[in-house]
Amino acid sequence: MNQSKVIIYTDGACKGNPGIGGYGAILKYQDKIKKISGTEANTTNNRMELTAVIEALKSLKRPCHIDIFTDSQYVQKGITQWIINWKVKNWAKVKNVDLWQALDHEASKHQINWHWVRGHNGDLMNEQADALANLAIAQFMA
């Protein structure tokens, strides 16, 4: 099977924690770029970080090879390290379990390399994902 190579940058933001949240994602495939964003009225930053990745993965139409870049160590370590024990312990005491299970489901459809990038450190695509999340919040609040 010839899978497509996709690069995804995601970010979540929250005004208040909990508060009004937004997420943004940029998907790049060959020379095509797709931007997605959204908001939630009463949420947390971690939930928006997770939602950004979930929504990006849900927008893909077929299995892909993906490089995902996130500035959330919560997301990167959660999906690559912590999730193993969470499953063994049947998700006991896991915060945001609904989103972790959704992310696990969506991620299982693809071959993913997870990358952490330092936020607000000049990475152009990360800055654009952050801008999308914050723009979504601003539009929600307007």
Q: Which long-range contacts (CB under 8 A, 24 or more apart) does 32-38 make?
A: 34/59, 35/128, 35/132, 36/132, 37/132, 37/133, 37/135, 37/136, 38/136
Active-site residue, from 11, 40, 55, 106: 11
Active-site residue, from 40, 55, 106, 130: 130
| 104 included as an active-site residue | no
| 12 included as an active-site residue | yes
| 71 included as an active-site residue | yes
Residue 14 CA to residue 45 CA, distance in Å, equals 5
Active-site residue, from 24, 40, 49, 110: 49
| 130 included as an active-site residue | yes
| 98 included as an active-site residue | no
Active-site residue, from 40, 55, 71, 106: 71
Task: Pick the closest to residue 44 from 8, 84, 74, 17 (CA basis).
Answer: 17
Q: How far, CA to CA in Å, does 21 sit from each of 5, 32, 51? A: 29, 27, 10
Active-site amino acid positions: 11-12, 49, 71, 120, 130
